[in-house]
Amino acid sequence: MKAKFSNRLFAFVIDIIIVTLIFYGLNSLIPKNRNTIILENELTELRSDYLKNEINTSIYINRYANLQRALDQQSIPNNILNIILILGYFTLVPYYCNGKTIGKKIFKIRVVKADIKEKMSLNDYLIRTLIINGVACFLVSMCVVFLVNDLNYFLITTICGILQFLLVIISGFMIIYRHDKKGVHDLVSGTQVIKEG
């Protein structure tokens, strides 16, 4: 039996909370460098100036793009940690736990191949994770952060973020309305989520 959208959604929320808690726990062990603190303060000050109408939108966007790119350059180690956590949790955990993450185990659902007789490969889980968990966006951002100028970086990461958001929304509607309950990530990876017992 195919898993209901609500079960998949709540399992995913639980999994995201777990990954976020682990990330912030590990991240708290890594001290912020001086440059990161300065950039975060400048970003806060910039937002404040813009909200007080002390600067116009054009100046705000240019300065924001500059600060955000500089901050993302400083955040490469944190982004790598985030990618490792997401890949580990959403790829390795279900691979070794019969298609289940902690959230899926709680809601008694699991990921299987569309042809249930076939065993899921690590590659199947990896494709799902790259598509639905935003890892592809992280990787694109990390690749272009040193290659393009501030405004192009801002545009690329904004477009990536919008595309990722749309992908999640479209997948949600597909799971709700398609008879086979498959989202984009299910179709591309040849998987489905089923209810156990």
pTM for this model (two decimals): 0.83
CA dist 15 to 24, 72, 81, 178, Å?
14, 25, 17, 24
Tens digits of residue pLDDT in 122-175: 999 999 999 988 888 889 999 999 999 999 999 999 999 999 999 999 999 999
Where are the strands (E) in 87-126, listed by range?
109-113
What is the pLDDT of the chain when averaged over all its residues? Answer: 92
Cα 106 to the center of its chain, rounded Å:
22
Query: Average pLDDT of 16-36?
Result: 89
For residue 196, what are its two tokens?
Answer: 């156990």
CA neighbor of 144 nearest in space, from 127, 162, 136, 156: 156
CA angle 11, 12, 16 (to 5 degrees): 120
CA dist 95 to 19, 22, 121, 155, Å?
17, 20, 7, 35
Kindly indicate the confidence band of residue 98, based on its pLDDT and cuts at 50, 70 and 90. very high
